[in-house]
Structure 1
Amino acid sequence: MPTMANDLLDWSPQAVVFDCDGTLMDSERHWQEARNRAFREHGLQPPPGFADQATGLHYEDCGRLMAQSVHKPELAQDLTNALLDHFLELVTDDPVTMPGAAQLVRLLSVRLPLAVASNCPRVVVEGSLQRAGLLQHFQHIVVPDPGDRVRPKPHPDVYDVAARLCGVRPHRALAIEDSLAGVQAARCAGLRVLGVGRRPPGDGAALADLWLPALHAPEVLAWVDSFKAPGSASEE
């Protein structure tokens, strides 16, 4: 069960694993526009509330969901291809970090090992972080890989692999997420979870230990300042 917020802020992780889209990079808006363009390209309209359903999904899962949502399952592959093509064009033209992301990453990188666990293709994650000047702060980038049996969120695989690559047990790592699918993945992998940004609809945010409006929230910065030097936290 999620712990109380004050317990999270009294705890020090041994590694931090970030989501990318909507957490580090302001790219969720690109995914939304890419979905809209893909729908329009096929003469379709997204159903009401589709953006909330699609947030955080792997693009292949999203393409299938798009087709199902308009009762056109035969268009799943075409919509998936169009979705990725439009997203790559948009994110290349306009890579922007989320408020507070660069500051928090730089503060953490001198204290703890950092990783990224994302549903995006590796080329997108690495390219976006490189253009933002953040890639060098991350020791590991983990994305879904069928060959290595690493499934996309909401499966726990990317978070489990990321924590272990950082050299810590999952329960000693913190996940930072903005989507319900991501929170579910991290929680299932055994990480503690800080949710940021707009709270998801329903009671999904309760799966996170704490949900704050932005990465540069005063509580987050004060918490990071309290972290011990690398290797000084004891195993639980």
Structure 2
Amino acid sequence: MSVRAVVFDLDGVLIDSEPVWEEVRRAYVADRGGRWLPDTQDRLMGMSTAEWADYLATDLIGGLSADEVAYEVVDQMSQRYADGLPLLPGAEEAVRRLAAHRPLGLASSSPRALIDLVLGKLGVGSLFVATVSTEEVDAGKPAPDGYLAVAAQMEVSPADCVAIEDSSNGLRSAHAAGMQVIAIPRPAHPPAPDALALASFVADDLDALTPDLIDGLKR
């Protein structure tokens, strides 16, 4: 296989955002008299905006529309990011290092507004040939839609792409799209063993992402 493009996930790969998402959505549910279930955070990871907003509105709270939930939660997330990005160590360096080697794409479950905000504040937006939010496709992760869409926009076959992921649903999504996957698990939300087994390589951190690693991947 000849690697022609690298596709990053955002949440949990470039920014340590899952704790922020959990804090904001958990408080939002509690403030409206809802109930946060033990498996809620794991279920939410990878969902598109429409999917998680409907889940919160219907299953956890009641009496609210999904559009209302999405607007209010994303607004709170925007305020949190404006105060400071929860960047993971080596995030900017990894993006710049690989952008000098291969075209970059991004397939994220975050809404478009947050993708653009994060990449803009990080100063790397221009380094991505294409970025896709799962709110812009039919289904969120673990469905392959987001990864297929970004590959199509880059005019590269998914089989010629390497994806960088951290979560179970993200790994399943990229693999289902036909991409090789490098996993960088987050200790707070480690991927399920069956999902991690889909990865071609498991890295400890972003510093491990080098051109040599990308070019050395074998099917």
Normalised to the residue count of structure 2, the TM-score between the two structures is 0.84
Q: Which residue is 1:207 aligned to?
A: 198
Letter matched to residue 145 of structure 2: D
Are 1:111 and 2:98 counterparts?
no
Unaligned runs of 5+ in 2: none
Secondary structure of the residue that 1:21 maps to in structure 2?
Answer: coil
Of 122, 126, 136, which residue of structure 2 is paired with 1:136?
126
Number of residue pairs matched by the alignment = 213
What residue number does 2:175 align with?
Answer: 187
What letter matches 1:163 in structure 2? A
AA of the residue aligned to 1:102: E
On the 8 A contact 1:143/1:150 being kept in 2, the answer is: no
**What CA distance in whole angstroms lies between the structure 2 residues aligned with 1:21 and 1:136?**
19
Q: Is the 8 A contact 1:196 1:211 kept in 2?
A: yes
% identity of equivalent residues? 31
Instruction: Give the 3 Å change call, closer, same or farther, for CA 151–225 of structure 1 in structure 2.
Output: same
Amino acid at match of 1:191: M
Task: Report deviation, 1:84.
Answer: 1.9
d(CA) in 2 for partners of 1:144 and 1:50?
19
User: Which has the higher Rg, Structure 1 or Structure 2?
Assistant: 1
Determine helix, strand or coil for the equivalent of 1:140. strand
Q: Distance in 2 between matches of 1:158 and 1:206?
A: 21
Paired amino acid for 2:161:
A
Contact 1:12 1:227 in 2 (8 A): no
Q: Distance in 2 between matches of 1:80 and 1:145?
A: 11
Q: Residues 96 and 172 of structure 1: is their aligned pair in 2 closer, same or farther, counting only changes over 3 Å?
A: same
Does the CA-based 8 Å contact 2:162-2:214 persist in structure 1? no
Give the C-alpha shift of residue 74 in structure 1. 4.1
Q: Partner residue of 1:89?
A: 79
Residue aligned with 1:63, SS? helix
Q: Secondary structure at the match of 1:139?
A: strand
One-letter code aligned to 2:199: A
1:51 and 2:38 correspond: no
Aligned partner of 1:231 in structure 2 is none
Distance 2:192 2:178 in 1: 23
| SS of residue in 1 equivalent to 2:202 | strand
1:170-226 Cα distance to aligned partner (Å, 9 max, x none): 111011111222222211111111111222245322232233232113xx33xx236
- 1:175 equivalent among 157, 163, 176: 163
CA spacing shift, 1:133–1:60, aligned 2, 3 Å: same
Unmatched 5+ stretches in structure 1: 1-10, 229-235
Deviation track 1:35-64 (CA, whole Å, cap 9, x = no partner) reads: 112112202341123222212222321122
Relative to structure 2, which stretch is displaced further, 119-128 or 77-86? 77-86
Question: Which residue pairs with 2:212 in the alignment?
Answer: 225
User: Deviations 1:107-132 (Å, cap 9, x if unpaired)?
Assistant: 11111000111122222111111111
C-alpha distance 136-144 of structure 1, shift in aligned 2 (>3 A): same
The answer to whether the 8 A contact 1:39-1:79 is kept is no
Whether the 8 Å contact between 1:175 and 1:193 is mirrored in structure 2 is: yes
RMSD: 2.5
Of 92, 101, 104, 2:91 maps to 101
